[in-house]
Amino acid sequence: MKKLFLLVFGLFILHAAWSQARIRTQLSGKVTDTQSGLPLAGASIILSDSRIGTTTDSTGNYLLKNLPAGHTIIEVSYTGYKSIVDHIDVISGNNAKDFSLVTSIVENEAVTITAVGSATSIRKAPISITRVTKTELLSMPPPTLLMLSAGNLV
């Protein structure tokens, strides 16, 4: 009798679990250029609180699945455009939010080259110094923009 009761109880629990409607929360939308309205492929969309993120496809569309419902901070960024940080409320079900990014000039940190005379001791300098002789400089290939931005020259 106990076995029959446990079997019926187990089947009831299994049926109750399967009959529960699973609500999937997702966020989708499109990221475009403000001036031209063209889609931005490869834009980054990140939910800061839950550390969930994705990138846009070739048509500028994105989709984030299985999100926790509630208030969250979303950050949308793309190289050459000003990033958007927005507060959104994600509710159960399908949510849609489109973003339009404004172009921006991005400046990288400059490379500084400092000449130090032989009177200054390298050991007493407050910053790290590497000595490069004239022959080493002449033997190096001419610097490219990529080399300068990566700091490979110094």
pLDDT in tens, 31-72: 999 999 999 999 999 988 788 899 999 999 999 998 888 889
Tell me how many domains the chain contains: 2
- CATH, residue 27: 2.60.40.10
72 and 147, same domain (yes or no): no
130 and 73, same domain (yes or no): no
81 and 112, same domain (yes or no): no
Beta-carbon contacts of 54 under 8 Å, excluding residues fewer than 6 positions away, are 44, 45, 62, 63, 64
Out of 78, 101, 124, a domain closes at 101
Closest CA to 63 of 71, 52, 72: 52
95 and 128, same domain (yes or no): no
Query: Residue 16: pLDDT band by 50, 70, 90 thresholds?
Result: low
Which structural domain range is residue 95 located in? 2-101
pLDDT in tens, 84-121: 999 999 888 899 999 999 998 766 655 566 665 555 55
pLDDT (0 to 100) of residue 56: 95
